[in-house]
């Protein structure tokens, strides 16, 4: 693939409004489709905002009616805000596009970046994004001091952690030693060019996630580099490391079109 261009759009006091960034994504997307610009990764922070992908259900949105921006990416509802590094890789892929392979490359870059800071992150089968695995179920402390046999999440498919106190809050998954998401990924591919991308929790206030069902997942939570390391860490520290791993993986990838197997007549 061609050399990757990075655009640092705005951080901290210059965090970029979501709609402004979305408009810029569409502009760069059109330019990339026309081969007017190279593959580009836009990196930024957003002011606090909830965004909902196409598969989001009403029951996963904030109960208090907090505004949510509906977007055209895959995935479900999530939050963006200060302390979270957001990346929008806009790449032209060969057709037919292998969306899963693109997601796996983004995951791999963030897994390697996390390892560089001493956090053992990984994939979780059946769930996109980058995860820190919890303890085996039978070794986890039970919420509220109850036996795991009485954990309502095991028997109630509609269990709502937002209505059941802090012991079930997504932001407290680390204390419960449960699986917890370190980075979320949601993308869209239009005309063979990718949009949207990843949100990497560096040091956000994860309590923002407690007002929604993050990514529609009720039996796991969220975490951050800072929470896993037990120390402060800044976007400034993380940014060049993420850029380096994205460049290494995306520039050296060979995204061949997936093979189409046609049934014989």
Report pLDDT digits (tens) over 157-189.
Answer: 777 888 887 888 899 989 888 899 999 999 999
**Residue 203 to residues 28, 89, 198, 228, 230, Cα–Cα distance (Å):** 28, 22, 15, 10, 11
Q: Pick left, alpha or beta for residue 10 (phi over 0 → left; psi -120 to 50 → alpha; otherwise beta).
A: left
Query: What is the DSSP code (8-state) at residue 249?
Result: H
- pLDDT score for 1: 46
As a dihedral over the C-alpha atoms of residue 226, residue 231, residue 236, residue 242, rounded to 10 degrees, the angle is -50
**CA 54, CA 70: separation in Å to the nearest integer?**
8
Catalytic position from the list 85, 173, 189, 215: 215
Write the pLDDT tens digit of every residue in 118-151: 999 999 988 889 999 988 877 777 666 555 556 7
- Rounded to the nearest 10 degrees, how much is the dihedral formed by the CA atoms of 192, 195, 200, 203? 170
Instruction: List the structure tokens of 91.
Output: 């790449």
What pTM, to 2 d.p., does this model score? 0.90
- The 10s digit of each residue's pLDDT in 2-20 is 689 999 999 999 999 999 9
pLDDT of residue 147: 52
In this predicted structure, which of 27-31, 84-88, 137-141 has the lowest mean pLDDT?
137-141
Residues β-bridged to residue 60: none
pLDDT of residue 24: 98
Nearest CA to 220 out of 150, 147, 159 is that of 159
215 is annotated as an active-site residue: yes
């Amino acid at each position: 693939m061609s050399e990757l261009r990075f655009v640092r759009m705005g951080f901290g006091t210059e965090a970029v409004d979501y709609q402004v960034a979305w408009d810029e994504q569409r502009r760069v997307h059109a330019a990339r489709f026309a081969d007017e610009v190279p593959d580009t990764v836009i990196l930024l922070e957003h002011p606090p905002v909830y965004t909902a992908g196409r598969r989001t259900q009403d029951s996963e949105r904030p109960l208090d009616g907090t505004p949510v921006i509906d977007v055209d990416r895959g995935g479900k509802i999530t939050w963006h805000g200060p302390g979270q590094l957001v990346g929008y890789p806009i790449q032209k892929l060969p057709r037919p596009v292998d969306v899963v392979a693109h997601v796996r490359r983004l995951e791999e870059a963030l897994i390697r970046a996390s390892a560089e800071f001493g956090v053992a992150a990984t994939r979780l089968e059946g769930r996109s994004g980058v995860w820190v695995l919890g303890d085996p179920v039978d070794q986890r402390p039970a919420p509220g001091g109850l036996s795991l046999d009485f954990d309502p999440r095991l028997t109630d498919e509609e269990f709502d952690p937002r209505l059941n106190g802090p012991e079930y809050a997504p932001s407290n998954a680390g204390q419960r030693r449960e699986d917890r998401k370190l980075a979320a990924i949601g993308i869209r591919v239009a005309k063979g060019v990718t949009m949207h991308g990843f949100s990497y929790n560096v040091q956000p206030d994860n309590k923002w996630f407690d007002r929604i069902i993050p990514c529609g997942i009720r039996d796991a939570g969220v975490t951050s580099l800072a929470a896993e390391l037990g120390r402060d860490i800044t976007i400034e520290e993380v940014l060049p490391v993420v850029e380096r791993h994205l460049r290494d993986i995306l520039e050296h990838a060979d995204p061949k079109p997936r093979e189409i197997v046609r049934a014989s007549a």
